A and B are shown apart, each in its own frame.
Chain A
Amino acid sequence: MIKLIKPYNLKIIVFVIFTLSGNISPMFAQTAVVSGIVEDAGSGEKLIGAGIYNDDKTHGTVSNNYGFFSLTVPAGLTTLHFSYLGYKETVVTANLQKDTSFHIKLVPSLLLEEVTISSDYLLKNIHSSQTGLIELPVKSLITLPYIMGESDLLKAIQLMPGIQSGGEASSGIYVRGGSPDQNLFLLDGVPVYNVNHLFGFVSVFNTSAIRNVSVLKGGFPARYGGRLSSVIDIRMKEGNNKEFHGEGSIGVVASKISLEGPIIKDKTSFIVSARRSYLDVLAQPVVKAIDDFATVRYYLYDANAKINHQVNKNNRIFLSLYLGDDVGFYRYNDKYIYDEIKYTRQDKTGIQWGNITTALRWNSIISNRLFANTTLTCSRYRFKLYDTDKKTTEPARPSINSRYSWTYLSGVTDYSVKSEFDYAPSPGHYIRFGGSYTYHDFNPGTNEYHYQGADYADMVDKQFGTASITASEISFYIEDDFDLAERLKVNAGAHASSFFVRSEKYYSLQPRISARYLFAKNLSVKGSVANMVQYIHLLTNSSVSLPTDLWLPATDQVKPENSWQYSASVAFPVKNTLVVTTEVFYKTLNNIIEYQDGQTYLNSNADWETIVETGKGWSYGLEWLIEKREGKTTGWLGYTLAWSNRQFTAINKGEVFPFKYDRRHDISLAIIHKLSEKLDIGLVWVFGSGTALTLPAQKFISALPLFNPQESTYYWEHSVNQEIEYIKSRNSFRMPSYHRLDLSFNFHKPLKWGERTLSLGLYNAYSRNNPFYIYIGQNYDWYGMGSGEPVVKKVSLFPVIPFISYNFRF
């Protein structure tokens, strides 16, 4: 049996504020609305997804993204249970004759105390109508092992069934056969376009600043739109509004610091987090030793900041900011004197990319039944490549003096306003509705070229590439989560959107429905159908996540992407401590784009719309997840069996081919075990059968006629060098399978001023040579020795890598 009611704790701090609304509608005369906020008693952080249940569990809800809840229950003596994973359950009994407000403060529990499944978890996973939802336990994720010890949200998400990485140590995620652009990353409700630092090895989300993460793989409610494959909703911490606290870490890749505290106690709080890598600083002496004139730098940084202010009991405002960049450059400064002339050359080549997102948000509890959230947001992604060269002489030799620069810029900027409402009009109904307007400004890639030769005269000044494209996107949604019968709960709604670009107008009405049938108290079967439309494309021609990937709008020539996804799931608890979820899905993707064979973003002579192909894809599979969220040992085991295909008219001769990340079997095991208050260990083991791969099967003589000017005609000349690889079909081979074990040991020690944690670990503990890529090469070793015959070579990136990091909090 599931234990939902836990022993009362007299020390629980419960603030119950009874508020008379004075406006009870006659049609609900036999009911009362209980509403309010659920928050952490220690920090004042609002708790997202806290469960609220009446005694016999006939009525229940969860708090929204701002800790607000509204529940209509029968009037009279009612006992309400408030629960949240990792917190002690609070029980409130009240004689409800009127609409009533509660301000609930939950107290964190000691991990060792709790061994059963909390009711909020059952609410969200078994009793809710939502399919395809994963909520990540952010606090415990930090103790899992990560490459270089750098805790990474996206790498934790990759361990869930239905989600896989783009490659060794990559933060790119591929959800149910979708591509990375089909994931909507929301950081405090603001879309983030490029989520990668360090070419995908580190994600942009600093775990120190994150409070809550939920991942939706299917069954999308109507409130979400704009992407086909997933919604990753990341909520930043709000900042402790009672006490000043901080935390930080010193790691191999980067160090970070996070500070939070009240500006006005219980009213206004802030949190600031920052992170920077320092490999460049450590490497620079080596670079200087090799070449005194050269400087090579690569670093990443990001910062999160948030202020929230409680205007009054019913109104709060937030201002949040994220900014981050990756900066890499090679600089060469050379000076010498020859024949009494001083020659100077300054050469710099670099790459830089990053995001800035900001959000100004206003929460308002308009009534016990109605909650409003209005947000102004801005999101900017920018990618820049540049090369500069300047030659000077002193005294001047005009023919030498010259200056040139080339800059390639691409990116996208969004400005958006959004209003959302949560409305609980009657028992058994929870309505959400809202609308948004977004102004997009796409820069698909412009080149600026300046050249001043011969004493900086003879100027060439060119700008070319695709001109920027602006577009407007408007969307509205409405959804109702309601009880259709005693055991049948339905979430039905629609997302309507329109997109205006150039002279083209696109409209869509996307129906969404999901339903849950409760076969037994804790055994549910769910099903969902969701239609999604995406007006933004990502154009990529590489198998790794590179910042060169271009964000582009749907245009009159390149239609919006759309998908249908059908999914069904069964969820039930096992032995009071585990929850087992099995889910099947079928997804279609239409109007997806790819470069024509061989085309790249650098082909600036062609408009991007003329070098892409439009096609379709489909994927289907089964996902199985067993989770344990509470107790000494927590973690999960996931398994995915899936197929994913693509078809384009002008690619692969129009024939169907497997998606690059089509992987038949995927297994992930993540375990965190708390041995004592001073030591916990983390373990991750992953296995994946090989992803699809294109290899040549044959080679043949190409026609490369050489021009003979003497006869003004061609002649033939053939040699081994003119043999061409024959690609029979794209992605027709498979990479070898991938598996890896990671371990971490976290030693905690309380100090006078706080706590420190020393983490030691191993990435790829048994040093498996996993394939990063394989190719046809020649049998030569590093020294050029060998037979030279053609062979298949496998390149592996990481053997066993130990890591250490020092974390502290106060």
Chain B
Amino acid sequence: MNWQSFILSVLFVMTACEKIIDYPVSPGELNVVVNSILNTDSTISVNISKSVGILDTSSAPYIHNASVNLYENNEPAGSMKYQGNGFYALDGFVPEAGIEYAVAVNAPGKDNIRASCMIPEPVPIISADTILRLIDNDVYYKSYTYDVILTVRDPPGLSNFYEIILFQKTLYTYPDTVYSIYSRRFCTDDPVFEYYRINNDVYPLALNLDTEMLNASAVYFSDKLLDGKKFTVKFSLEQWNINGMYYIYLRSLTKDYYLYLASLAYYNQASGNPFSERVQLHSNISNGLGIFGGYSSAADSFYVGMQ
């Protein structure tokens, strides 16, 4: 039991009642939501939906009849076509780093929704090394793991925002079919990381104390303490079924996308705590909600074959 649970338990014991009240929550003018994460490896797509009142029993609906136009360095790049489930795409259009992309959306009841971003250049990985480490020295058995040391040089004079993804790919055959299994768990206590993703949620990386407890599928950090420096970050591989091929990705994120993920992390942290201040999600959509961001990637891979 942690201390927050302790406090909540005390309050719970004292709680006299909880009841539904007739409290007017006017939604006000509903918003058009534009979400798009561009990357230099896949076709651009934009998701358009509409917000609904917080007490509305239906889910937020996708907008299928919006006008969505893409601009490349302020020049029209084309009109995006509806693909279903709120997605609009421009066939075969893959964005590049260093070019400003803008999207202009006109949706029924709401026009002139705009957003723009420029994908940063990828930051190369200098090396991804592994070091064998003894972690359990029992009289009955000994166990080891591998530490992964990633070395990167941060570009000087630029504000960089990073995401690191590390996963293992193994093949599994049953009965005659070959399946790929992706394991995305690693441990880290490197203090440079600010946020982490576990499953499909992002959280602030606060009080990272127990190295065995923090299993992440991605970590996020900025270069505010590293600007222009060559730096290393360390991960420990999960012991179970450690052998296999590993892939590591270093993503360079747009600032707005990073701020969006940070606000999402704080939003998740505050969620469910009635005494915390509510968190407003970061948005760079003018006259609407959502995020128009992106990233570029650098990748490396290595093989672990422990005897």
Contact = CB atoms under 8 A, between A and B. Distances in A.
A13 interface: no
A109 interface: no
A740 to B, nearest CB: 13
B21 A792 contact: yes
A181 B302 CA distance: 55
A797 B16 contact: yes
A703 B279 contact: no
Given A697-B28, A699-B60, A797-B14, A725 B21 contact: no
B196 to A, nearest CB: 11
Interface stretch (B106-114, B226-234, B235-243, B259-267): B259-267
Chain A interface category by residue count: 35 or more
A796 B16 contact: yes
A461 to B, nearest CB: 12
Contact of B291 (A697, A703, A794): A703
Interface stretch (B36-44, B70-78, B95-103, B119-127): B36-44
A713 interface: yes
A699 B52 contact: yes
B131 interface: no
Interface in A720-759: 720, 722-728, 730, 733, 736
B20 A723 contact: no
Nearest to A706: B200
Interface string B264-307: 11110110001111111100000001110000010100000000
Contacts of B21: 736, 774, 792-794
Interface string A373-387: 000000000000101
Nearest to B205: A605
B54 A349 contact: no
A697 B54 CA distance: 5
B167 interface: yes
A31 interface: no
Interface in B36-62: 36-37, 39, 41-42, 45, 47, 49-57, 59-60
A438 interface: no
Contacts of A716: 45, 47, 85, 87
Contacts of B204: 598, 600, 603
Contacts, number: 256
Contact of A733 (B16, B25, B194, B266): B25
A773 B278 CA distance: 13
A609 to B, nearest CB: 13
Given A349-B3, A598-B270, A602-B206, A725 B54 contact: yes
Contacts of A733: 25
A791 interface: yes
Nearest to A714: B37
B173 interface: no
A597 B282 CA distance: 10
Contact of B2 (A387, A543, A717): A387
Contacts of B128: none
Nearest to B87: A716
Contacts of B299: 712
A701 B35 contact: yes
A595 interface: yes
Contacts of A464: 191
A20 interface: no
Interface string B13-38: 01111111111011110110101110
B3 A543 contact: no
A16 interface: no
A698 B30 contact: yes
B176 interface: no
A399 B263 contact: no
A714 B163 CA distance: 13
B140 interface: yes
A776 B55 contact: yes
A795 B15 contact: yes
A351 interface: yes
Interface in A233-251: none
A703 B59 contact: no
Contacts of A398: 137-139
B6 interface: yes
A468 interface: no
B264 A702 contact: yes
B217 interface: yes
Interface in A674-715: 694-707, 709-714
Contacts of A792: 20-23, 25, 55
B35 A703 contact: yes
A508 interface: no
A703 B209 contact: no
B180 interface: yes
Interface in A366-409: 385, 387, 397-399, 404, 406
Given A652-B280, A706-B200, A775 B274 contact: yes
Contacts of A351: 3, 6
B207 interface: yes
Nearest to B34: A703
A454 interface: yes
B169 interface: yes
A542 B54 contact: no
Nearest to B204: A603
A796 B17 contact: yes
Contacts of B27: 697-698
A92 interface: no
A774 B274 CA distance: 8
A788 to B, nearest CB: 9
B274 A695 contact: no
A597 B280 contact: yes
B207 A698 contact: no
24 contacts: A199-B10, A350-B3, A351-B6, A541-B277, A598-B262, A598-B265, A598-B266, A603-B204, A652-B280, A699-B53, A701-B49, A705-B37, A707-B165, A707-B217, A709-B247, A714-B37, A714-B42, A717-B200, A722-B200, A725-B54, A727-B278, A730-B277, A773-B275, A794-B23
7 closest A-B pairs by CB: A598-B266, A399-B138, A703-B35, A700-B51, A792-B23, A698-B51, A598-B279
Interface of B: 1-3, 6-7, 10-11, 14-23, 25-28, 30-31, 33, 35-37, 39, 41-42, 45, 47, 49-57, 59-60, 85-87, 135-141, 165, 167, 169, 180, 182, 184, 191, 193-194, 200, 204-211, 217-218, 247, 249, 260, 262-267, 269-270, 274-281, 289-291, 297, 299
